[in-house]
Structure 1
Amino acid sequence: MKSLLFFLLFAYALIGQDITPSAVFSVRGYVNDFVVSDGKLFVATDRGTVDIFDLKKMALVYQIVLNPTEDGWGERVPVRILSVDVQDRRILVTGIVKDGFRAVWLFENLRLKPIVDAKEKLMLKEAHFADDGHIVMGTFSSELIRYSLQERAPLYRRQLNDTAIGDMAMSLDRRFVVTSDESGAVRVVCAKTGKVVRELPSKHLDNVFHVAAGKDVIVTGGNDRRVCIFGKKRNYVIRTDFPVYCVGVSPEGKTGVYLKGDDQILQLFDIETGKETDRLVGHKALVNQIRFLDETTLLSSEKGPYVYLWKIKSANPR
């Protein structure tokens, strides 16, 4: 009996455990993006809203509603919001408007102000605040645009590559942009100048779907069924059996996570060793975003109406 118990404990230590969500946030429509700032969860939906939840109260406290746009047949339809970002209580919203072009709005002091409209005919993927309050936008054609909110004009436009963009993410200090593209390349770009400061030694062979940045580490996932880890001490690859559509990394760069297989299971792993640990189980649709609050708390969303909150153990606690 003791031998069996020891075996079970040893097996448990090897394979980790399945963790279920601690809480679930529900919105109307599908979640396309979300961020967390000052104890609030900001959820961008395909129904033209940014739903704002208080994480302590676990309740919806405010909703930003964009005016409908026109589709190709002249019908009024909700704006499909692609991305949301928050800095100093300012909210940046990017969405699809008339003729499929993108628009960007700034929500500040309870007022929604247009920044970029459809007349500029930009095919934006997403937009983020930089460290100095300007914004950085990425287009599907791998063009990076630094934009002045005051002047409502580009400060630079840089063509990073001649292939389509895969994903982009800001560094924790918002000074750098990490970009990927369908060639498998991963680059670190200075947000202020638009210059590539480092091209990472990527082992990707195909489109890189998702990028995440933590302290001294970048994690990427791609169509080639690989998770690439670019760390301060070493770089390595985790090979999987399914395209990796979503990845994440904790702020201190201790814990990584990736979407494993087609059962929507999120696999945690130790960044330092590459060892897979616990699994997050509960998603019902394709996972599209993962954000860590700290080393033991993260949220993830799916192509559905839900954002899940998870509590985990910290890897390599110091």
Structure 2
Amino acid sequence: MRLLLLLLLCLQSVFSMNLKPIETIKMQGAVIDLENIGDRLYIGTDAGKMSVYDITQNKIVKTITLEKIHDFMDDLMPPKIYSVDAMGDKILLLSEGENGVKNLFIEDNGVLKKVLGKKDHLTMSKAKFIDKDHVFIGLLSNEVLLYDLKNKKIIYQEQLSQSKFSDFALNEDKTKAVIACESGINYLIDTKTGKHIRTLEGANKDNVFKIAYKNGRVATAGQDRIGAVYRVKDGSYIEFHAPFLIYSVGLNHDASLVAFAFNDNNDIAIFRTDSSQRVYTLIGQKSTMNTIIFYDKKTMFSSSDDKYIMKWRLK
């Protein structure tokens, strides 16, 4: 069975088109989070800097630098920025804080304020805007919460399971979220109420590193070398088997294509979700992948645990 799987993978790679990046964007620190909103990339790094890159102008148009923090040796160091987002004039940054805590910052019209930190006792792992007044947050304990920025209070805080949190993804209108964890089970919830809607499971039996959600489909990147695409409507899924741990995943806007960080060379394999046909292999990423983004029908961006963001053009 294993030999047959390897043969199928080899045949798929033969018939797919190999592509190299058309551009490399070098940052000042290793990229941890990459978010695409409109024609801009929001980039969080381990150098304590969040940069805004304008895709149409091909340049960085804004940078926010956070104050240095003390490490365990009491030396000053730049905080890692784990999560970034934007909504209108507001920019969100979830960063490393003192003594192992996380800080949530919001910049509004050029003014940066800390809204959550050490005093709130929250093991925040990821945060994104739901709207201009609400932030959806995933905790390491696999709890999710909705925070009201205007009234400075938690609207709800729900425990999904006892498994460790891995990632979450929002749908296009931010009314639903899918949360992935180390069990391989994925939880679909209503972001306004925290109500559990459906469980998506069966493909992954181990930790899901990353998750994507587009056009009623959810894609997973698994530690068990399995990538999957679920239909949210009925929970059915298709599997994609890789020769290495799958660290990242991305879906294009209509979910007709899925991209996986596919092997130990950090190549990206792109499949059609209707036929499971491998159509592209993107070659040139330098380190372990953390984000894959489809910008439009032909353009993609990817980042890994280094200073380089790759831009790709599909043919």
**TM-score (structure 1 length as normaliser):** 0.91
The answer as to 2:10 corresponding to 1:23 is: no
The answer as to 2:279 corresponding to 1:293 is: no
**Residues 114-125 of structure 1 correspond to what in structure 2 (within 5 A)?**
114-125=114-125
* CA–CA distance in structure 2, aligned partners of residues 170 and 13 of structure 1: 31
Moved more, 233-242 or 263-272: 233-242
1:40 matched to which residue of 2? 40
The CA deviation at 1:74 is 2.2
The CA deviation at 1:133 is 3.5
The CA deviation at 1:60 is 1.6
- Per-residue CA deviations over 1:56-92 (Å, capped at 9, x if unaligned) read 2211211101111122232221111001011113111
Preserved CA contact (<8 Å) 1:177 1:191: yes
1:154 matched to which residue of 2? 154
* CA–CA distance in structure 1, aligned partners of residues 25 and 110 of structure 2: 23
The one-letter code of the counterpart of 1:252 is D
The one-letter code of the counterpart of 2:243 is D
The one-letter code of the counterpart of 1:306 is Y
Unaligned runs of 5+ in 1: 1-10, 314-318
* CA–CA distance in structure 1, aligned partners of residues 85 and 273 of structure 2: 26
**Residues 236-255 of structure 1 correspond to what in structure 2 (within 5 A)?**
236-255=238-257
The one-letter code of the counterpart of 2:221 is G
The answer as to 2:200 corresponding to 1:196 is: no
Preserved CA contact (<8 Å) 2:133 2:150: no
* CA–CA distance in structure 2, aligned partners of residues 97 and 246 of structure 1: 26
SS at match of 1:112: strand
Preserved CA contact (<8 Å) 2:145 2:154: yes
SS at match of 1:99: helix
* CA–CA distance in structure 1, aligned partners of residues 304 and 21 of structure 2: 13
**Residues 22-101 of structure 1 correspond to what in structure 2 (within 5 A)?**
22-101=22-101
Preserved CA contact (<8 Å) 1:255 1:295: no
Unaligned runs of 5+ in 2: 1-10
SS at match of 1:180: strand
The CA deviation at 1:229 is 0.9
2:223 matched to which residue of 1? 223
* CA–CA distance in structure 2, aligned partners of residues 43 and 310 of structure 1: 17
The one-letter code of the counterpart of 1:98 is E
The CA deviation at 1:264 is 0.4
1:275 matched to which residue of 2? 277
Change (3 A) 1:58 1:236: same
Preserved CA contact (<8 Å) 1:249 1:256: yes
The CA deviation at 1:218 is 0.8
* CA–CA distance in structure 2, aligned partners of residues 13 and 75 of structure 1: 48
2:130 matched to which residue of 1? 130
Change (3 A) 1:12 1:170: closer
The CA deviation at 1:38 is 3.0
The one-letter code of the counterpart of 2:36 is V
Instruction: Name the % identity.
Output: 26
**Residues 133-212 of structure 1 correspond to what in structure 2 (within 5 A)?**
133-212=133-212
SS at match of 2:119: helix
Preserved CA contact (<8 Å) 1:102 1:121: no
The one-letter code of the counterpart of 1:312 is L
* CA–CA distance in structure 1, aligned partners of residues 190 and 60 of structure 2: 36
SS at match of 1:130: strand
Preserved CA contact (<8 Å) 2:13 2:278: no
* CA–CA distance in structure 2, aligned partners of residues 193 and 163 of structure 1: 21
The one-letter code of the counterpart of 2:267 is I
* CA–CA distance in structure 1, aligned partners of residues 226 and 166 of structure 2: 14
SS at match of 2:99: helix
**TM-score (structure 2 length as normaliser):** 0.92
* CA–CA distance in structure 2, aligned partners of residues 63 and 257 of structure 1: 29
1:303 matched to which residue of 2? 305
Q: Considering only CA atoms, is the larger Rg found in Structure 1 or Structure 2?
A: 1
